[in-house]
Amino acid sequence: MLLASCGLGSAPVKALLCENVHPEGVRLLRQRGFEVETRDGALGEDDLAAALAGVDLLGIRSTTTVSRRVLEQATSLKAIGAFCIGTNQIDLDAATAAGVAVFNAPYSNTRSVVELAVAEIIALARHLTDQTAAMHAGVWHKSAHGSHEVRGRTLGIVGYGSIGSQLSVMAEALGMQVHYFDLVDRLALGNARRCGSLDELLGAVETVSVHVDGRPENRRLFSDEQFARMRPRSLFLNLSRGHVVDDAALARHLVSGHLAGAALDVYPTEPKSNGEEFVSVLRGLPNVILTPHVGGSTEEAQEDIGTFVAGKLADFAEGGSTVLSVNLPQVAPARTAGYRIVHLHANVPGVLAKINTVLAELGANIVAQTLATRGHVGFAVLDIDKEVAPEVLGALRALPESVRVEAR
């Protein structure tokens, strides 16, 4: 097996994967020659700092906190893979200061959310959840009243990002007419029609599906005023963030009959763990689908997260690729015949000139060079025509602007 290594010599790259990272992620790293240790649960701060001695790559999910103190102690750590969507559990400023790249899986559950939204749009239009609950209670009530096909009906998508735009494509495949509103200009897919304002969208459609991001300004984006602007007997879905909707206002508009149904997957306050009671004004209302924040929770999404993040860690450790890193400048350098050095440094004028001078003085010719900057840091990947000797790395590390310098 090929042993992946980073830094000088042929010591294998060590990865520590906590919190039951998907087996496909573990398999990918082992297949690419990394030495992988796995842990079932999350480690506390002290245990994590101790476990990271000699570890190059750390994989976590949402429960492990990677604090500044952990990062300052983990001197061999080069990258963290968050095998989930969010990265709030990692001190990103401290990671950047330590030259540690952080990766996550922003798109792995997009499709899962879209499929749930599609299922719910149809289920609401046919009162499916009420019908099945009645049947389980022994009530046979056969009627077409209030049931609709979704074909030909209008869907308004608020937030036309990864999820909103994919929902647009699938809804059109069902024969729906899609309108959307986004704060930024987004390319209309298929026959989707862009609305100039949220109000314009609310007045034009029969079903509203919200897919905005969680920025603080989106708190209560949907409250009494917006529900009142929706057309009578409309349907409403929120699978984005809980704070985006005023649930009490939604409940009032459902009880009054102004809205014909709703599907919610996220809530302003959610139970911290399974088994804790879910408290909401929306409980018990007819034609209201409530799911426990599972829009992105499918086995396919988990597997995709496993391989996606493991691939990012492997690409970074092997060649210095920072594509889709959440904290470092993004570079995707093609492999050349040269010997590779990755150089993370303070983003101040003249660093590249200093690096080139050091290499020239040591008699190394540069075969290829890629530089990107982001905020306070710059990231250069340099391929040189001779093997990277310890004095080359030593001289580059001695530059006052250097944060992290390694051979790959």
Ligand X SMILES: NC(=O)c1ccc[n+]([C@@H]2O[C@H](COP(=O)([O-])OP(=O)(O)OC[C@H]3O[C@@H](n4cnc5c(N)ncnc54)[C@H](O)[C@@H]3O)[C@@H](O)[C@H]2O)c1
Active-site residue list: 241, 270, 293
Residue 162 vs 370, nearer CB to ligand X: 162
Per the structure block, which two tokens stand in for 5? 């290594």
Residue, CB closest to ligand X: 161
Of 128-136, 210-218, 223-231, 333-341, the window that binds ligand X (rule: CB under 6 A) is: 210-218
181 is an interface residue for ligand X by CB under 6 A: yes
Residue 391 phi, psi (nearest 5) = -70, -30
- Residue spans of alpha helices (H) in 174-298: 198-204, 224-229, 247-255
Q: How many residues bind ligand X (CB under 6 A)?
A: 31
Residue 22 vs 241, nearer CB to ligand X: 241
211 is an interface residue for ligand X by CB under 6 A: yes
Residue 56 vs 182, nearer CB to ligand X: 182
Give the SS3 label for residue 276.
coil
Binding flags for ligand X, 226-255, as an x/- string (CB under 6 A): -------------xxx--------------
296 is an interface residue for ligand X by CB under 6 A: yes
Residue 122 vs 398, nearer CB to ligand X: 122
Residue 41 vs 214, nearer CB to ligand X: 214
Tell me how far, at minimum, the Cβ of 152 lies from ligand X, in Å: 25
Tell me how far, at minimum, the Cβ of 62 lies from ligand X, in Å: 12
Integer-rounded Cα Rg, in Å, for the chain is 26
The gap from C-alpha 164 to its chain's centroid, in whole angstroms, comes to 15
Residue 211 vs 408, nearer CB to ligand X: 211
Which of 56, 130, 265, 383 touches ligand X (CB under 6 A)? 265
Site for ligand X in 37-96 (CB under 6 A): 85
Site for ligand X in 345-364 (CB under 6 A): none
Distance CA 248, CA 252 (A): 6
302 is an interface residue for ligand X by CB under 6 A: no
Handedness of CA 269, 274, 277, 281 (dihedral sign): positive
Site for ligand X in 103-132 (CB under 6 A): 109-110, 113
Of 93-101, 180-188, 226-234, 246-254, the window that binds ligand X (rule: CB under 6 A) is: 180-188
HSE-up of residue 380 (Cα within 13 Å, Cβ side): 24
Per the structure block, which two tokens stand in for 17? 């994967």
Residue whose C-alpha is closest to residue 121's, from 169, 160, 154: 154
Distance CA 89, CA 21 (A): 16
Tell me how far, at minimum, the Cβ of 42 lies from ligand X, in Å: 20
184 is an interface residue for ligand X by CB under 6 A: yes
206 is an interface residue for ligand X by CB under 6 A: no
Residue whose C-alpha is closest to residue 115's, from 239, 273, 259, 277: 239
Q: How far apart are the first and last CA of the chain?
A: 18
Distance CA 136, CA 120 (A): 20
Residues 6+ apart with CB under 8 A from 256: none
User: Where do the DSSP E strands lie in 109-233?
Assistant: 154-158, 177-181, 193-194, 207-210
182 is an interface residue for ligand X by CB under 6 A: yes
Distance CA 157, CA 181 (A): 6
Pairing relationship of beta strands 339-346 and 377-384 according to DSSP bridges: antiparallel
Of 181-189, 248-256, 323-331, 346-354, the window that binds ligand X (rule: CB under 6 A) is: 181-189
Tell me how far, at minimum, the Cβ of 159 lies from ligand X, in Å: 3
Q: Which residues of this protein are in contact with ligand X, per CB under 6 A?
A: 85, 109-110, 113, 158-164, 181-184, 186, 211-215, 218, 221, 239-241, 265-266, 293, 295-296
